[in-house]
A = this chain, B = another copy of it.
């Protein structure tokens, strides 16, 4: 059997396969799509965008969100409510919350959640910076918007203890039915949280 694939082709397949959720089959499908040249500039555009990602993005020195300029757009925006801080795990959480248009305060990105199994402890997250920021700031409320997972909940509990001395009110996001969600298909834990958190109709 000949050494089947030219080395540059095999190399691109190998590198695609390093991406999460991309196996060898998908990697070779993507590579051969690029080779076929249906979208001529795609390989070059993708390469340029990958290089720019590292060169042009950094963490905001205040909220640790990903940004082109420091401070980031949210931190630099004087119209935002500086008395409320929303603590999230990942930059994508900021994107999701901004899309909801239901929040006008500031953010703090932890870059993960506590996870003893994966060996992620408080020092691996931006927790010291959070504590310092709350000490220095004048926040009335800190929303612990970590995920509704074991890790997210543990992180929120840990933060609750760490921030016990602060004057800010600590809150968590409400649990309940998804909007548009069927009760029939809602898992029992969510359903019990939705019942316990039931609200008066106005």
Choose among B16, B21, B39, B90 the residue that contacts A18 (Cβ–Cβ < 8 A). B39
What residues of B have a CB within 8 angstroms of the CB of A19 in the complex?
Answer: 30, 33, 42, 46
Interface residue A136 (Cβ < 8 Å from any Cβ of B): no
Choose among B16, B44, B53, B94 the residue that contacts A34 (Cβ–Cβ < 8 A). B53
Choose among B28, B29, B47 the residue that contacts A51 (Cβ–Cβ < 8 A). B47
Choose among B21, B49, B101 the residue that contacts A26 (Cβ–Cβ < 8 A). B21
Chain-B contact segment, one of A4-12, A143-151, A186-194: A4-12
Report whether B92 and A32 are in contact in the complex, using a CB–CB cutoff of 8 Å. yes
Interface residue A71 (Cβ < 8 Å from any Cβ of B): no
How many copies of this chain does one complex carry? 2
Interface residue A77 (Cβ < 8 Å from any Cβ of B): yes
Q: Mark A33-74, 1 if CB is under 8 A from B, else 0.
A: 111100100111111111111111100000000111000111
The closest CB in chain B to the CB of A19 belongs to B30
A residues sitting closer than 8 Å to B (CB atoms) are 1-9, 11-12, 14-16, 18-22, 26, 28-36, 39, 42-57, 66-68, 72-74, 77, 90-92, 94-95, 98-99, 101, 111
Query: A8-B55, A46-B47 known; 16 other A-B pairs, CB under 8 Å?
Result: A1-B101, A3-B73, A5-B95, A6-B72, A8-B53, A8-B57, A11-B49, A12-B49, A19-B33, A19-B46, A34-B53, A35-B91, A43-B50, A43-B54, A44-B51, A50-B50
Q: What 10 pairs across the A-B complex have the smallest Cβ distances?
A: A47-B50, A12-B49, A6-B68, A47-B47, A8-B56, A8-B52, A15-B46, A15-B49, A43-B50, A2-B73
